[in-house]
Amino acid sequence: MDFKKIAHAAVCRWNEKRRTDKTSDTHRTSLPEAAPAVREAVSPKAANLESALGGFLAECYEFRFNVLTEATEFRSKSDKENGTFRPATERDLNAICLEAHRHGIDCWDRDVARMVHSADVREYHPFRLYFQRLPAWDGRDRLHDLAARVSDSPLWVQAFHRWMLGLAAQWAGLSDGLHAHSTAPLLVSDEQGLGKSTFCRALLPPELQAYYTDSVDLARPDKVERQLTEMGLLNLDEFDRIPEKKHPLLKNLMQLSALNLRKAYRRHSQALPRIASFIGTSNSRELLSDPSGSRRFICVLVEHPIDCTGIDHAQIYAQLKAELENGERYWFSHGEENALRLHNAAFYRICPAGEVLRRYYRAAQLGEKVRLLSLPEIFARLRRLEPGAMAGVTLPKLAQALVAVGVQKVHTHYGNRYRVAER
């Protein structure tokens, strides 16, 4: 391409435009008498340019506005079969402008940008569009088989299905706004290379792969909040490396159903629905530190390589869509959350308080006669027996350790007591 000729032609067009502006008559149109002002009408030349450029763009390209990313996307109609939509960058707009010149349309790059970034471009929601285009469900349950690729544990299979319903409800806009998708599967293994992260990514269909990320920085909660409104799945990769002090923040983020954000180039914040769900992976079993918050996770032990091939995304999400439209519950009941809490006891982080507690106490059996002890009583005895190991241990930490080992807490007239038996 001869850029000197292009530049010379552009200068000539600019000079011609200046001469035209000086010599052409000013066309004005009358407003109603009640209006205090008059405005300049669009000149025939400008109208012809707009018509010609609009026709060229409509004939050669497809445009759409992504409401999640707030970016205009396009593809060439000449490559419609194989071409995918991509964001329209300044470089792309310049190329389109030059292509218009070759078609005899005397436009500027700002003319192209004005049309491409206008409200005339149709809006679309990537996830809503995907669910609208799904085929009818053929009636075969594929969620069970998908979960069994990871583990055949009945609790996992059932909980994973429920979690996928919550994920689909947020994507398709079928959630009621009252129940946030506050639960996350955690794929755990003692070794690497079993395909945990690959399975997480494979949950998204090819059309939505751009909305998966394992770059979740809890040190920047504002960024994570934005990801919740723009992405589909956030992978908390290497969950065991998340500092314990960040767990309360993560819990709060997981409970959000909508977010109030101010997007770039916006003066005011706006309420945005949450789209993304959480999932996680770990190569260590010591994951959870808060027994009361452990119901937010579905820990599953991966003991073999996960087969991530041949996933029928269309029928899987068609099944989820059909189940949601038939009123299937997509949130976890209290009973299901309690089952998760008990199941996750094997994945608690071992703390000094827990180790000392296990040496001197155990959870009382059902019907076993024991003396109910208060938290300070247990704390005082352990500190007397193991002063070094109990250094730095607080009453709240000891309370968490009691719950972690399955000790029952009883509310009495004298306050909370624990059903423990001495070893």
pLDDT at 187: 98
The residues, any chain, with a CB within 8 Å of residue 274's CB and separated by 6 or more, are 170, 180, 181, 228, 229, 256, 257, 258, 259
Residue 39, strand partner residues:
29
Domain ranges of the chain: 38-124, 133-347, 352-422
What averages of pLDDT result for each successive group of 10 residues across the chain (423 residues)?
Answer: 47 55 42 39 66 89 92 87 84 93 90 91 95 97 98 97 97 84 94 95 96 95 93 96 89 87 65 92 88 86 96 98 96 93 84 80 85 90 88 84 81 88 85
Residues 66/75, Cβ–Cβ less than 8 Å = no
pLDDT at 142: 98
Burial of 315 (0-12, 13-18, 19+ CB in 10 A): middle
| Domain 133-347, CATH class in plain words | alpha beta
Distances (CA, A) of 107 to 21, 40, 90, 120, 156: 16, 21, 15, 19, 60
Residues 268/276, Cβ–Cβ less than 8 Å = no
Kindly state the helix (H) or strand (E) to which residue 71 belongs, with its residue range: strand 71-76
Q: Quote the tokens at residue 123.
A: 């809006």
Q: Contacts for 376-383 with beta carbons within 8 Å, 24 or more apart?
A: 378/402, 378/418, 378/420, 382/353, 382/356, 382/357
pLDDT at 288: 86
pLDDT at 81: 65
Cα–Cα distance for residue pair 318/334, rounded to 1 Å: 27
pLDDT at 29: 34
pLDDT at 3: 41
Residues 348/401, Cβ–Cβ less than 8 Å = no
Q: In this structure, which CATH number among 3.40.50, 2.60.120, 1.10.10, 1.10.1070 belongs to the domain 352-422?
A: 1.10.10
